[in-house]
Structure 1
Amino acid sequence: MLTCDHPFPLDQYDDRVKEHLRFTGFYHASQIGIVQCQKALVNALVERWHPNTHTFHLPIGECAVTLEDMAMILGLPTDGLPVTGITMSNFETLEAECLHQFEIAPRKSNYRGSGIKLTWLRDLKERLQLTDENNIQSIGQYSWGSACLAHLYRALCRASRFDCKEIDDPLTLLLVWAWIRLPYLAPVPREPRSFPLANM
């Protein structure tokens, strides 16, 4: 049985941040609350995931989460520049990148494996101010929906290995996709469908 990482609760944004979120295409995604993880459903989907084809093999046939699903469920942009970069897998490289980006570096206690703990990034976010208009404008030029979908595929491929015991985000995308495609499994929505669909 896989365990699921849970996202942090929503923060409240001031008007200036909301304006930047709308401009960059992240506003709708920022309004999505926490979706309670359905471990049994996630495990059933992972068991039916085939890493070679990036599809679920169900009794009714093969199916996959698509870019259109991505755009409708989370509301992230799916056109624009690709989100690419080097994979940083050691302490020294991450430390140098943090110094370059944030002018501050995390301590070794702020690392988990080859990544930085989200608590450090959240604390950093409280102290930083978004003031560089050029960087804010460039954010909206990227296909964040494609990156999120690729991350989901990678998480499913990793979780389908026999030695993996957990799966990370974006579980909201996976669960809402399953509830749309298999509506008899879905919880009863509190409100009529709205955009993005994960807000139901």
Structure 2
Amino acid sequence: MVAQSLAIFSSKPQVSSSSKSYINLSRVGHIRDTQPLDTWESVMRYVRCHIFCLLGTTLFVDKSTVYFHAKYLPLLQNFDQISNYSWGSACLANLYRSLCCASRYNCKEMDGPLDLLFVWAWERMPRLAPIPRHQLALAEILVARRWSHHPQARKWMARIQANIRHAINIMEEFVWRLYIGIIIPAELHAHLDVCDMVGPLVSFECVE
């Protein structure tokens, strides 16, 4: 792990005291933010640090939110290969696994890409949404940007669990359509028929 961290970040990792396999995300963020960006190597280092932070804070979040597993480091070494990974499928599978674990009676917290789950729920369950749909701006391909940094969205996050459960219980409308108001670039139309696949899903030590 130290060798991989030196190759990617040019710095030894700051690891968790309880598990030596987890790297401190704030340390990686500091390395990213202090890059001079005056050489190709520093730009690549910046990009690798940013992707590592993105994976650890948005796509594959665990319950610590402070550390991220070092097993993702090898994925950042070869930039010619990284674009061939199905990141969307992996993120979605990770969310399904998190939802499955959260449904157990003894689960106290949930991890995973919760920001994406919120956006999905707000787009399809108008009663839960913090912003009335008619007030939303038209979105291009970045759907979640319509909801980010909005004062009503921040206020929604402070709602208590009982209120949210009540809203779900009395909900009558569920939007079964595709995202409303989304402007799909013309170059993507030819690929819209590719909607699913059957194949092995490999997540390091797990194969499903």
- Short-chain TM bin: 0.3 to 0.5
TM-score, structure 2 normalization:
0.41
TM-score, structure 1 normalization:
0.42
- Structure 1 or 2, whichever has the larger Rg, is 2
